[in-house]
Amino acid sequence: MMTKPRKNLHKLMASVIGLSLLAACSGGNAGTNNAPSNEGGATDPKSTVSKEGMPIVPEPITMTLMAPDVGHAKWEDMASLKEMEKLTNIKLTFQNAPSESFPTKKNLVFASGTYPDIFYGADLTAAEQVTYGDQKVLLPLEDLIDNYAPNLKKILDENPNIRKNITTPDGHIFALPFINSTAVLYRNPMWYNGAFLKALNIKELPKTTEEFYTYLKRVKTEDPNKNGKADEIPLASVKLTDLRMYFMGFWGMYNEVYYADKAGKVHYSPQEEAYKGYLTFMNKLWAEDLLDHDTFSQTDEQKAAKVKNNQVAVFDAFHPYMPFQVEPNRDNPLMTLLKSEVAESPVYGKHPGQSSYGQFAISKTNPNPEAAMRWADYMYSPEGALLFDLGPEGTLWKYTDKATKTKEFLPVPEGKKRDEIRGTLTPNYGIVPPGINLAETKKGLENDFDLFFKEELNTKIVPFAKPPMPNVFLTPEEQTEITALLSDLNPYVEQMEAKFVTGQEPLSGWDKYVAQLKKMGSERIAEIYQVAYDRWNSTK
């Protein structure tokens, strides 16, 4: 319309100019940086930071912490953080920004030169770690870890791969990860609608793409939801983003864009021969109306309504009860990975064990980096992990047997969800914090569904799973090249995928497609990541 709101036109321009990507910060409170040293008293804080035990400092000190939040509660009021303050003698002042705008605020902070003492859950990208580390805006942490982080040091010593994943090419560690060595998934897996399986009397889940096809065909024709209408949608998706990674594994590919195979060779998936197998299969499902024909036009919400309406046989979800909006149950089994014509199949791209590598960092203006490191180290201890995951004892849970760390949940007030309450107790809700996920945290608290979920993963996925790629750091030049290449390649691949699947482009056009990819420089993707991967391999 001609009259889009023109108010603040120059601002509008700014955002079109793309500066919406630029960013900015919260800094705000000028002078906060000096606060800690003032309040720390006359003594040199360094000498007073105890190397073990609590409190961390004898006299209270103050630090500023910047973090994203989801607006559930004020961090000042959270039980975990209050407890932590009592424990450590470190008082925090919080600079929170809503999680969806956090990247913007983070960039403003870096641009403004007024840094918080600590970045928490900040998702510092590899590029940010390298550049800000180089410029000494972020402190190198390796010596601090050796001296002030006994828990983390132990983990890193026992798991050299984790250390490699967080060490930049010049040998420094600028940020700490969230460690989750028990995790298998990092994308939604696919689930069968259990009611359909029962209605069609399926005893054994499909194991090959052929069997899967046959099953979908039956769903389409045999009215498993028993409403007398042929309204079943065998496979539902939104733009294929929700199932792509899972399905590509059936043709031996660990990830959507690039991955390293078992032999350590890096591949750019969209031009692999195996990818053609995936396209061919999806095209067959589309042609026979087994893949929802709304796939490329519908919203997540429309898809969710179909699942909830009991029309869909196979769908994605982190937990299968979520789209039905019911209590956790065992009704819907995890989709078994399928074997295709590719010999080395199926495979699954597993959670790499740590995620979002830049979750904690200390700025150069922090007067007490040692204390900050000890504070962070607590997150990597069993007690700290528990405190930050579930809140202090007596809020959400209590011990039934303290010696074995067995716990039980306390009853939840009427009409509230336990997870929502958790979000008011601890900051680690809806954001990825620094720290570690330990099995013992949940000891005794696991419900029937949790056990079912674990079992499903262990039997159906774990045997075929390998992380697609370790966390490799790119040099700035490599990063620039990759960014430029992928900006062009991604839309093209996405567009051609849809065309091949819907048959708008016949599969005979494959060679032309690959030629075009190469013309756009696709081979460089695998090359660059191969170099980075080899570099990762060669660091000790």
**Integer Cα distance of 321 and 316 in angstroms:** 11
| Whole-Å CA distances, 18 to 22, 98, 107, 188, 479 | 7, 20, 14, 31, 20
Does 239 help bind other proteins (rule: CB under 8 A)? yes
Does 478 help bind other proteins (rule: CB under 8 A)? no
Residue pair 45/371 in contact by the 8 Å Cβ criterion: yes
Does 443 help bind other proteins (rule: CB under 8 A)? no
Identify the CA nearest to 431 among candidates 442, 440, 422, 444.
422
DSSP character for 100? Answer: G
Does 492 help bind other proteins (rule: CB under 8 A)? yes
| Residues of this chain, 167-186, that bind other proteins according to CB under 8 A | 178, 180, 183, 185-186
Does 211 help bind other proteins (rule: CB under 8 A)? no
Sign of CA dihedral 134, 138, 141, 143: positive
Q: Within a 13 Å sphere around the CA of 104, how many CA atoms are in the beta-carbon half?
A: 11
Provide the 10 A C-beta neighbour count for residue 71: 10
409: three-class secondary structure by DSSP = strand
Residue pair 56/89 in contact by the 8 Å Cβ criterion: yes
Q: Of residues 417, 508, 538, 540, which one binds other proteins by CB under 8 A?
A: 417
Binding-residue pattern over the window 502 to 531 for other proteins, x denoting contact by CB under 8 A:
x-x---------------x-----------
Run of H or E residues at 465:
strand 465-466
Task: Between 105 and 407, name the residue whose CB sits nearer to other proteins.
Answer: 105
Q: Which residues is 167 bridged to in the sheet?
A: 173
Tokens 């705008």, residue located: 101
Q: How many whole angstroms from its chain centre is CA 203?
A: 34
| Residues of this chain, 315-344, that bind other proteins according to CB under 8 A | 317-319, 322, 325
| Residues of this chain, 97-116, that bind other proteins according to CB under 8 A | 97-101, 103-105, 107-108, 110-114
Q: Which amino acid is at 295?
A: T
Does 447 help bind other proteins (rule: CB under 8 A)? no
How is residue 14 written in tokens?
């700014």
Does 21 help bind other proteins (rule: CB under 8 A)? yes
Does 230 help bind other proteins (rule: CB under 8 A)? no
Task: Between 199 and 486, name the residue whose CB sits nearer to other proteins.
Answer: 486
Residues 6 or more apart in contact with residue 184 via CB below 8 angstroms: 350, 351, 457, 461, 462, 465
CB of 203 to other proteins, least distance (A): 30
CB of 208 to other proteins, least distance (A): 26
Task: Between 105 and 218, name the residue whose CB sits nearer to other proteins.
Answer: 105
Task: Between 160 and 476, name the residue whose CB sits nearer to other proteins.
Answer: 476
Q: Which residues is 334 bridged to in the sheet?
A: 191
Q: Of residues 33, 36, 81, 132, which one binds other proteins by CB under 8 A?
A: 132
| Residues of this chain, 281-300, that bind other proteins according to CB under 8 A | 293-294, 296-300
Does 34 help bind other proteins (rule: CB under 8 A)? no
Residue pair 500/507 in contact by the 8 Å Cβ criterion: yes
Q: Of residues 160, 491, 503, 506, which one binds other proteins by CB under 8 A?
A: 491
Task: Between 7 and 203, name the residue whose CB sits nearer to other proteins.
Answer: 7
Q: Which region, judged by CB under 8 A, interacts with other proteins, from 166-174, 194-202, 499-507, 530-538?
A: 499-507
Q: Of residues 431, 436, 526, 532, which one binds other proteins by CB under 8 A?
A: 431
| Residues of this chain, 63-102, that bind other proteins according to CB under 8 A | 70-71, 74, 95-101
149: three-class secondary structure by DSSP = coil
CB of 406 to other proteins, least distance (A): 21
